[in-house]
């Protein structure tokens, strides 16, 4: 019991405990932002592929029609599901 009281009274242990707590909080904050950034990037890419890319291809087809160029078929979007079941 006396040893525990000495540890609590020692200012060096308080410094170690406080710095460890600060590092833990900073790590949790960093990992949260990293995960959130990945979610936002995934939503952005999905939005670009589903909404903006078809409009871009439609405008390119109009340009090809004006120039008399035979437009090739639109490429399909292949999604890779990294969170689905693995076979």
Give the pTM: 0.54
Average pLDDT over all residues of the chain: 84
3-class DSSP state of 5: helix
Task: Kindly state the helix (H) or strand (E) to which residue 8 belongs, with its residue range.
Answer: helix 2-9
Q: Distance (Å, rounded) from C-alpha 36 to C-alpha 30?
A: 10
Q: How many residues would you count in the chain? A: 87
3-class DSSP state of 69: coil
Tokens of residue 72, six digits? 């090739």
Q: How much is the pLDDT for 42? A: 86
Q: How much is the pLDDT for 85? A: 64
Q: Is the model more confident about 3 or about 74?
A: 74
Residue 57 buriedness (CB in 10 A; 0-12 / 13-18 / 19+): middle
């Amino acid at each position: 019991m006396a040893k525990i009281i000495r540890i609590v009274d020692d200012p060096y242990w308080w410094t170690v405990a406080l710095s460890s707590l600060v590092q833990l909080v900073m790590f949790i904050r960093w990992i949260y932002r990293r995960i959130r950034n990945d979610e936002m990037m995934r939503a952005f890419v999905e939005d670009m592929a589903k909404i903006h890319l078809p409009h871009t291809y439609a405008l390119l087809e109009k340009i090809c029609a004006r120039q008399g160029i035979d437009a090739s078929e639109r490429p399909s979007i292949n999604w890779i599901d990294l969170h689905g079941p693995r076979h």
